[in-house]
Amino acid sequence: MKRGQISLDFLFAVTLIALTMVNLVYIANSERSHAETFDTATKIKIFSVDVRDSVAKVYAVGDGFKVRKNAPFKLYEGDYINVTLSPTGNLINVTAVVSGEIYQVTQKSPIPIWRKSSVKLTPSDPEFYITAEYNRTEGRLYVQVSP
């Protein structure tokens, strides 16, 4: 073999190794992105279950009881979480926009929701309250969310 032949084989081997490394970096980056999306979706789901359980707890304790809740993670500019208690079907809807991605979770409330209420969590206002208020004229206990 000539001296130039060995260099050409060496360059070919280096090129193959470089391509393999680039592919490994691409796959790792892609998997990291999927893991972050899954992490956010899981946190939103757990948050919605916590809100559902807190709504039931506030209803069980009764008039005047209040629970403070915080966003499940740090919100950045443009991110928000909207929590809605809906009397139609007694549903608790949690919609989040995080890094431009939309996540939505709906929970069935174990207690009756008589009045629609909603709160939007933002980076400047990441907490809200779940309160119970007894309406004497209607004889109902209202559970609602408020800033």
Over pLDDT 90: what percentage of the chain?
70
pLDDT score for 43: 94
pLDDT tens-digit readout, 33-85? 888 888 899 999 999 999 999 999 999 998 999 999 999 999 999 999 999 99
- For the chain, the domains span 3-146
pLDDT digits (tens, 9 = 90+) for 120-134: 999 999 999 999 999
The total number of residues written for the chain in this structure: 147
In this prediction, residues 10-36 reach a mean pLDDT of: 88
